[in-house]
A and B are shown apart, each in its own frame.
Chain A
Amino acid sequence: MRKFQTGNHAVAEAVRLCRTQMVAAYPITPQTPIYERLSEWEATGELGGVMMRTESEHSAMAACLAASLAGVRTFTATSSQGLALMHEMLHFASGCRAPVVMVNVNRTLAGPWAFWSDQTDSLAQRDTGWIQIYCENNQEALDSVIQAFRIAEKVLLPCMVVIEGHFISHFMEPVEVPEQGLVDRFLPPVDIPRRFDPDKPGYAVPTVTQKQFMEYRRLGQEAMEYALEVVEEVDREFVEVFGRGYGLIEAEGIDGADLVLVTTATVTSTARVALARLREKGYRIGLLKIRVFRPFPARVLRDVLDRVSRIAVIERNISLGREGIFCSELKAALINSPFPHQVQGYVAGIGGSNVDPELIERVVMDALERKEATDGPIWMAEGE
């Protein structure tokens, strides 16, 4: 059924359709409508699962991962400071191999205070061992949540689906809400290890030796590498069932391009408009959207960008003292390529500031004219 709805409500639809058994959450802008919609459905019996209204995001994640270890399908949603508060428990969820699914609605981190979209909150959780998927629009948000449960429960790693505050969370778009039967076909009833089986006493997360700890981390790394395959496999099956798919990355117009623009999330949609205009003017510009950030699809990116000499990365985040985080990651992925790439990073849309097609055109022009790339980022803002 096609519904005109916000990204937050699309996420709630997905959580309901996935027959999520337990949701633990705490309100924070701009995530709150997810929490409210799920509460409404719990009250009317449409959710099917239970809501735990915790006193903090830290507790929400503690409860989700504990319930997940008991073998229950769990979900939470948060943003910004809430995600930062959860940070400690994110390590526990991945270390315990608890397949919790979370939606993070990107929002700036204080100080100073602001409420708009900025990817720094989720990217700051880069090293917590969570799978991270960045969505471009409301449909992808809904679909990615459904995929996330399949991926997480197969790999036994937690999965974070990231949507941008306001641009996705609060903007309304037509969204295809699948039939329950289709989702049931794609996502079977939960079947994950029960770590608290009273008949088989076991000890989760004991103190270990240095060597044992290293082995845990090695297994976590292997799981992440395996997750790359699983994300692709799950996406292929998703296409079979629902007729839509997203992949690890999405590439268009790469062959013979003079420049490839690398984007993430909602900036991608704007870039599609800008690049179409530029192509009409005769410019050969490719577009590459990175959807999955962890595990980082390094090999896939290297294959796609094989003979591309000029690359511009535009993104809504910054690691102070370095540059945009996707740019750094991409550079690291390309360093072992025999082909020389010139990668220039641009930060735009920081703090939720607008990224319009004109800004993206300026980024492309700047990158085309540049003889060599600078190490730091180039700051771009609307109307400058």
Chain B
Amino acid sequence: MEAQEIMRPEEVMRSGHSACPGCGVAMGMRMVLRALGRPAVVVVVPSCSAVISGPFPYATLDVPMFHSAFEIAAPTAAGISRALEIQGRGDIPVLAFAGDGGTFDIGLQSLSGAADRNENFIYVCLDNEAYMNTGIQVSSATPRFAWTGTSPRGNTRRKKQIMEIMAAHRIPYAATASIGFPEDLAAKVQKAREIRGTRFIHLLSPCPTGWKTAEHLSPRVARAAVETNVFPLYEILDGIHYTLNYQSRGLPVETYLGLQGRFKHLGAEELRAIQHETDRAWEELRRRSEKQTC
């Protein structure tokens, strides 16, 4: 891949969107679209990404876009993709943006169906770890112990392992990405663009409002998630070939959690539990990626 293409300067998303200051989702959408380039067709579903896309007539994405219902980002993208294929324009990428609620929860069935059929689209899950567009309510992407409006004493469940679920479909490409690592994100979007079939990118997108962080800290918080191994950067090819993309500094989880208000009630025991689970998951991931390389 050409290095200059990763750093493509041309913007697809215009300024003037209506997200909160410091919104990780807005940054993520901008980076993804810039890396993908034109032409493309974009599907958004009810979520912050739909707000960012703009109310009529203030469209902020300079590509054709369809704002459909909450639980159907995948089959909507599949319908458009099939239609373009029928019309002999199957080379135009179709991209779906959905939040963690629309992906991990209400949209999982339709995403699974589309992935099972290996429908031809790129699906980007803009994960800000709760239902942020409706306030701050717990989703199955919310980390354990995190405060939300509907988990006021801290979330009791663990974050659903969406990457493993997607990998189990044996889709050709799945990757995690972070707005804290724009080059890695751009490279993954451009790699995904060259592959046919269902491609899934799990993009961590910090939410200053819901995570209770300072507006200017979103990229730093996102980097901290990776550097503490809470959100490692990796790819899975065909559901079985794991590749770690970044060797983190392995900082203690407090480095990441301490930047956020939603974890401020945590005691030593909870921190130990998070550290333990993070270490276990990181070892598991490392083992899987090593096994693939030897």
List A52-83 residues whose CB lies under 8 Å from chain B: 52-56, 58-60, 62-72, 74
Residue of B nearest to A24 (CB): B79
**One of B36-44, B140-148, B272-280 at the interface:** B36-44
Task: Determine how close the nearest CB of chain A comes to the CB of B228; give it in whole angstroms.
Answer: 37
Contact B39 A199 (CB under 8 A): yes
Contact A22 B82 (CB under 8 A): yes
Q: Does B241 contact A (CB under 8 A)?
A: no
| Distance between Cα atoms of A10 and B260 in the complex (Å) | 63
Contact A21 B69 (CB under 8 A): no
Q: Which of A53, A88, A197, A208 contacts B64 (CB 8 A)?
A: A197
Contact A198 B79 (CB under 8 A): no
Residue of B nearest to A194 (CB): B87
Q: Which residues of A contact B66 (CB under 8 A)?
A: 66, 69, 195-196, 204-205
Q: Which residues of A contact B19 (CB under 8 A)?
A: none
Q: A70-B79, A70-B83, A204-B65 in contact; A196/B41 too (CB < 8 A)?
A: yes
Contact A52 B82 (CB under 8 A): yes
**One of B108-116, B192-200, B201-209, B212-220 at the interface:** B108-116
Contact A55 B65 (CB under 8 A): no
Contact B63 A63 (CB under 8 A): no
Task: Determine how close the nearest CB of chain A comes to the CB of B133; give it in whole angstroms.
Answer: 12
**One of B52-60, B153-161, B170-178, B282-290 at the interface:** B52-60
Task: Determine how close the nearest CB of chain A comes to the CB of B19; give it in whole angstroms.
Answer: 14
Contact B67 A205 (CB under 8 A): yes
Q: Does B72 contact A (CB under 8 A)?
A: yes
Contact A63 B56 (CB under 8 A): no
Task: Determine how close the nearest CB of chain A comes to the CB of B224; give it in whole angstroms.
Answer: 34
Interface residues of A (CB under 8 A from B): 21-22, 24, 49-50, 52-56, 58-60, 62-72, 74, 88-89, 92, 195-209, 212
Interface residues of B (CB under 8 A from A): 38-41, 43, 50-51, 53-57, 59, 61-69, 71-72, 74-80, 82-84, 86-87, 89, 92, 109-110, 112-114, 116-117
Given pairs A67-B82, A207-B50, 17 additional interface contacts (CB within 8 A): A22-B83, A53-B117, A55-B113, A58-B71, A64-B79, A69-B66, A88-B69, A92-B68, A196-B83, A198-B39, A198-B41, A198-B89, A203-B53, A206-B53, A206-B54, A206-B55, A207-B51
